[in-house]
Amino acid sequence: MKIVIAPDSFKESLTALEAAKAIEEGFSKILPEADCVKVPMADGGEGTVQSLVDATNGRMIEKVVTGPLGMPVQGFFGLLGYQKTAVIEMAAASGIHLVPKEKRNPLKTTSFGTGELILEALNYGVEKIIIGLGGSATNDGGAGMVQALGARLLNSKGEEIEFGGGSLSHLKKIDRTKMDSRLSQVKFIVACDVDNPLLGEKGASAIFGPQKGATPEMVKTLDNNLAHFAKVIFNDLQKDVASIPGAGAAGGMGASILAFLPSELKRGIDIVIQTLQLERHLENADLVITGEGKIDGQTVYGKTPIGVAKLAKKNGIPVIGLAGLIADDTSEVIVEGIDALFSIVPGAVSIDEAIANAYQNLKLTSENIARLLKIKC
């Protein structure tokens, strides 16, 4: 029996690889003859770098970069096992978790550190860079990132504009002559699971600005400034980014990546599936096990368990989903391809207990599922 084990991380308790190991232990205890293939997964959000590094026997690279407030922070990215691909989570350098709540101000926060991580990845000779856009503290349209890459964003005096979405109104000219020449030789794949445009009521500022500290007045300013940025991009680069779906991701970072870099936007789970060649691992499989910390009605919108399940169903393979919490609204999850759902929590316990015992609970649940399969066999 071949069992493909392809979970996401269980947030705050287990990495995807740790979850896969726990599941493997449970199944192997009851079905020692089974061929368990571990493929730690992710959906492009938090934990994607770690999952891809683990799955490919790659390595983590740490780099001190400029944080959202302009102060040094410890950033990181992953170098995959075959050495030619780097994976960057924007949040590692420009994430909202790096800014204390009382200091969150998207008029000031910068994405400069994300650009510094890209430059560091180039030093390793990579040919592809995967960038996850979730969890940003910024609303600068990716201006800080392109400044780090060597682009000059100039005001009417020919001086570099300051950091933050509040400074974009001063932009008069874009000078790309000093951008790192290696960028044109690298393919950028961007994990983007939102289709928000850059501007307007569904744009970066209106939808995501408030969670980054923007007041209603700041939202208006930021939206106007991004509109101005898009106009200068169109005039100087001949790129129209104002209404492209996904351009509003990560405070408008999607717009700058599309305008300044050889790139394409894709759903995060699709990038991970392709990068890890999951379909190849599914060949001749009899069962697929997936899961994450919580499975609910939102899981159908690009989350790992559904991405894995859809590919398994395409290949005619049954799927079991495991989670710490199974919500009431999971009918769509079943419709989309997961055949059975199991909560790994054994009873009425606190969240702290559930997190602390996640490995053992996941192992025991997997063991019991294996016992059921053995009875059926």
Topology agreement, domain 2-41+280-376 and domain 48-269: no
Q: What percent of the chain has pLDDT over 70?
A: 99
pLDDT in tens, 140-152: 999 999 999 999 9
pLDDT in tens, 237-253: 999 999 899 999 999 99
**pLDDT for position 39:** 96
**Is residue 134 very low, low, confident or very high in pLDDT (cuts 50, 70, 90)?**
confident
Within 8 A by CB and 6+ apart from 277, the residues are none
Residue 177: CB atoms within 10 A of its CB come to 7
pLDDT in tens, 41-85: 998 888 899 999 999 999 999 999 999 999 999 999 999 997 799
Per CATH, the homologous superfamily of domain 48-269 is Glycerate kinase, domain 2 (3.90.1510.10)
**pLDDT for position 193:** 81
> Could you tell me if 86 and 59 are in contact, meaning their C-beta atoms sit under 8 angstroms apart?
no
Residue with tokens 């269980």: 10
DSSP state of 161: P
Q: What is the mean pLDDT of residues 356-363?
A: 95
**pLDDT for position 329:** 81
pLDDT in tens, 97-110: 999 999 999 999 99
Q: What angle do CA 263, 145, 231 make, to 5 degrees?
A: 75
Query: Is residue 298 pLDDT above 60, yes or no?
Result: yes
Q: What is the mean pLDDT of residues 187-204?
A: 93
**pLDDT for position 63:** 97
Q: What is the mean pLDDT of residues 224-228?
A: 98
Alpha-carbon distance of 298 to 257, in angstroms, equals 27
Query: Is residue 19 pLDDT above 60, yes or no?
Result: yes
**Is residue 328 very low, low, confident or very high in pLDDT (cuts 50, 70, 90)?**
confident
**Is residue 115 very low, low, confident or very high in pLDDT (cuts 50, 70, 90)?**
very high
Q: Quote the radius of gyration of the chain (alpha carbons, Å).
A: 22
Alpha-carbon distance of 69 to 83, in angstroms, equals 32
**pLDDT for position 194:** 84
Q: What is the mean pLDDT of residues 191-212?
A: 93
Alpha-carbon distance of 45 to 134, in angstroms, equals 6
**pLDDT for position 322:** 97
**Is residue 296 very low, low, confident or very high in pLDDT (cuts 50, 70, 90)?**
confident
Domain definitions of the chain by residue range: 2-41+280-376, 48-269
**pLDDT for position 224:** 98
Q: What class, spelled out in words, does domain 2-41+280-376 have in CATH?
A: alpha beta
Residue with tokens 């951008």: 179
**Is residue 334 very low, low, confident or very high in pLDDT (cuts 50, 70, 90)?**
confident
Q: DSSP letters of 77-137?
A: EEE-TTSSEEEEETHHHHBGGGS-GGG--TTT---HHHHHHHHHHHTTT-SEEEEE--SB-
**pLDDT for position 377:** 57
Query: Is residue 363 pLDDT above 90, yes or no?
Result: yes
pTM: 0.88
Task: Indicate the average pLDDT of the chain.
Answer: 94
Within 8 A by CB and 6+ apart from 331, the residues are none
The token duo for 357 is 């015992």
